[in-house]
Amino acid sequence: MPELQLVPTPHTDAQAHATRLVARLRGHFDSGATKSLRWRFSQLDALEHLLMEREGDILEALQKDLGKPETEALLSEVRMIVGEVRLTRKKLRSWMKPERVRTPLVAMPGRSYIYREPLGLVLIIAPWNYPFQTAVLPLVGALSAGNCAVLKPSEVAPHTSAVIAKWIPKYLDAEAVQVVEGGVAETTALLRQKWDHIFYTGNGTVGRIVMEAASKHLTPVTLELGGKSPTIVDETAHLDSAAKRIVYGKFFNAGQTCVAPDYVLVDERVHDALLNRMVSAVREFYGDDPKQSPDFARIIHDRHHARLARLLDGADVATGGETDASERYIAPTILKNVKEDDEVMKEEIFGPILPVISVPSVRAAIAFINRQPKPLALYCFSTNREAQEAVIEGTSAGGTTINHVWLHVGVPTLPFGGVGESGMGAYHGRHSFETFSHQRGVLKKSTLKDPPLMFPPYAPWKQRWLKRIL
């Protein structure tokens, strides 16, 4: 993903605009207008109308920015959000209810509750690889929790950014939700403001910049980052389905997916069989010339294309390897005979290049993974329950799918987020509502007379009783 460096002094106009915008939105939040269930429902309804009525505009923008096939864009950018909106609307009333919890004897008579209250004003910064979904999906949580929000879409996907900027204020409450387009100066200006939460999706380099900026105001952050998400294939795996699922997951959106399989660790006993099946799956999905396939996307910009092309220098290619800078095309490529210290293994690939590494066992694969930073996702293909559990218990990752790839991301009842270098915090479904809410502890005491045990003078008999009941 593109790197962002804060400029020392953002453009005066950008800074002034950000300051005015934040002041206006904060004033609206302070009015209490966004806290009611009715307002939250109205925004969720309006957001669903936007998604359904402007679907064509969204898909067209994504095609212009990334060459996204319509089916891929529909599934991952639009309808995924529709499902999130509908689940949130169905559950929101119950999520908002104060949650009664156990009250210890020392606080009796009384009742204890957890109240969920909105944080206030939140900033959502989206990347370019799924430029619509990563901007709007967190917004579902922000609105359902009763917040005001500013969206900063990626300038690297200008057509999608324009669609977001055009339609969000026309469908949603413009006094509560605003979009700021632009580049580094605008982002810098926004990060200099005081927010109640910052939600950033992107790479670790920029994540550190966001966190540093947030620390100046003690602003909490959610960082949805990435990393090299590994795939383990053991000798018991169903190789035909494993090959197709890995190829599908890797080359979806031309590999520009934060949870795409970054590399494959395959048991040496089935290495050749899996490799042959994956090569066949590439041909089955995209034909003899994937460049002509309407179902294969393009790389976002020239600099990213050049970086990916350099990773192919001197590589042992099992299939693919072709590049065309004029079309920002990198063929779906599978590499063999890859070593742990090869250049392609040093950072997240974020493109249609899949290294395959032979390992002697699942235990060796686990050890390999544990030598790397914790990934955003991890996949295991095995029909052996013990092997599956060994992988889950022996590694740490943001999320995991067994015998498939990244489908856990589409389960709204599961939290989606990273761990360690791959991020902090989680969202989707109720987890989004919780991310953008403050859990406020409330004890409601009776007006009945308090027991004398708790008040001075602290006689020895009181201490004895307190030791018994505490």
| Active-site residue flag, 60 | no
Amino acid sitting at position 91: K
> So what's the pLDDT on residue 2?
38
Q: Is the pLDDT of residue 188 over 50?
A: yes
> So what's the pLDDT on residue 1?
41
Q: Is the pLDDT of residue 9 over 70?
A: no
> So what's the pLDDT on residue 5?
47
Q: Considering 48, 148, 258, 380, which one is annotated as catalytic?
A: 258
Q: Please report, for the chain, how many H helices and E strands are present, in that order.
A: 16, 20
What is the distance between the alpha carbons of residues 365 and 381, in angstroms, rounded to a whole number?
12
Confidence of residue 3 (pLDDT cuts 50, 70, 90): very low
Q: Is the pLDDT of residue 11 over 80?
A: no
What is the distance between the alpha carbons of residues 282 and 150, in angstroms, rounded to a whole number?
41
In this structure, which CATH number among 3.40.190.10, 3.30.420.40, 3.40.50.2300, 3.40.309.10 belongs to the domain 230-417? 3.40.309.10
> So what's the pLDDT on residue 217?
96
3-state secondary structure of 73: helix
**pLDDT: which is higher, 42 or 450:** 42
What is the distance between the alpha carbons of residues 193 and 51, in angstroms, rounded to a whole number?
30
> So what's the pLDDT on residue 4?
45
205 touches 2 (CB < 8 A): no
Upper half-sphere CA count for residue 360 (Cβ side, 13 Å): 2
**Alpha-carbon distance values, 283 to 72, 233, 279, 286, 287 (Å):** 18, 21, 7, 5, 5
Amino acid sitting at position 333: T
Mean pLDDT rounded to a whole number for the chain: 95
| Active-site residue flag, 148 | no
Q: What percent of the chain has pLDDT over 90?
A: 90
Each residue's pLDDT tens digit, 378-431 = 999 999 999 999 999 999 999 999 999 999 999 999 999 999 999 999 999 999
255 touches 349 (CB < 8 A): yes
Cβ atoms < 10 Å from Cβ of 22:
21
Token match 């939460």: residue? Answer: 197
Of the listed ranges 103-112, 267-276, 319-328, the one predicted with least confidence: 103-112
Burial of residue 26 (number of CB atoms within 10 Å: 0-12, 13-18, 19+): middle
Two tokens at 440?
Answer: 């406020």
Q: Considering 84, 224, 348, 434, which one is annotated as catalytic?
A: 224
Each residue's pLDDT tens digit, 336-346 = 999 999 999 99
DSSP 75: I
Amino acid sitting at position 454: M
**CATH homologous superfamily for 12-225+423-442?**
Aldehyde Dehydrogenase; Chain A, domain 1 (3.40.605.10)
Token match 């919890």: residue? Answer: 101
Mean pLDDT confidence for 40-46: 98
Q: Is the pLDDT of residue 10 over 70?
A: no
Where in the chain are the domains? 12-225+423-442, 230-417
Q: What percent of the chain has pLDDT over 70?
A: 98
281 touches 245 (CB < 8 A): no
Confidence of residue 452 (pLDDT cuts 50, 70, 90): confident
Q: Is the pLDDT of residue 284 over 90?
A: yes
Mean pLDDT confidence for 325-354: 96
Two tokens at 63?
Answer: 């095609």
